[in-house]
Structure 1
């Protein structure tokens, strides 16, 4: 995933802040799926786009129907991620995932139950099967990066 010579700076990882107390209420308080969908797309806009040079095949997440890239860095036992997608809804889903894992330790990331998390946000059953599979692939890539990093 991060094997290529190009890699984002450490500051790019630690500078990405997604406060769950600020972000998650927009989903839990949304009255219907249309409001959640809109909130999801707005959340995706908060993620900085990856530079074109970083959109490397080696950073692509397999299993996503659209293009998605993921970078990981462990800093002082905490795990940080940068990710992007060429699809707005996927980018919003990435932002939701990163809200749950950014700056967390390996144990917390490994314990993330994506189905419970999406139930709590009111997103379960709202995503197409292909989107659900893509989000699951992203979540697994996030977990795998934390585990693999800790083995080094």
Structure 2
């Protein structure tokens, strides 16, 4: 399965990073680039449960391809979610179900920094994407 353009960009950027500090900085930058969600979207119905931080997720299908938007109150999570969106935006529902979250963050060199709670939170976000794609 080929990667979306943003995912390829993320992969190239993170693989060039020299060490964790540079990756952490890149992570924050990706989070800052996440387009803001409107307050209308920051409602309980869009909140992802299973995350320690607050994460809101909305998705819409455009020509058979999913486009997700998300927001979080935590900087690190915002960065991780931005990288997850880079990996999944533009995929069909079938492709979305094939995304291997641990493998993606491993390729980015970020898997060691994923605490179990962060990992669970990201899995909850991906799970919510799957649920939205089935509606």
TM-score over 0.5 for the pair: yes
Mark the CA change 1:54 to 1:85 in structure 2 (over 3 Å): closer, same or farther: same
Q: CA RMSD in A?
A: 1.6
CA positional deviation for 1:121: 0.8
Q: Distance in 2 between matches of 1:61 and 1:22?
A: 26
Rounded Cα–Cα distance in structure 2 between residues aligned with 1:36 and 1:99 = 16
1:99: which partner in 2?
A: 86
1:39 aligns with 2:35: no
Q: Is the 8 A contact 2:11 2:107 kept in 1?
A: no
Q: 1 CA distance for matches of 2:130 and 2:15? A: 25
Do 1:18 and 1:98's aligned partners in 2 also have CA atoms closer than 8 Å? no
Which structure 1 residue ranges, 4+ long, deviate > 6 Å from structure 2?
Answer: none
User: What is the correspondence of 1:34-113 to structure 2 with a 5 Å cutoff?
Assistant: 34-113=21-100
Unaligned runs of 5+ in 2: none
For the residues of structure 1 that align with 2:5 and 2:51, how far apart are their CA atoms? 23
3-state DSSP class of the match of 1:28? helix
TM-superposition CA deviations, 1:13-49 (whole Å, max 9, x none): xxxx972233222211112111111101100111111
SS in 2 for 1:90: helix
Larger gyration radius, structure 1 or structure 2 = 1
TM-score of the two chains, using structure 1 as the length reference: 0.81
Counterpart residue number, 1:125: 112
Contact 1:67–1:87 (8 Å) recurs in 2: yes
Distance (whole Å) between structure 2 residues aligned to residue 110 and residue 43 of structure 1: 24
Q: Give the whole-Å Cα distance in 1 for the aligned partners of 2:8 and 2:107.
A: 14
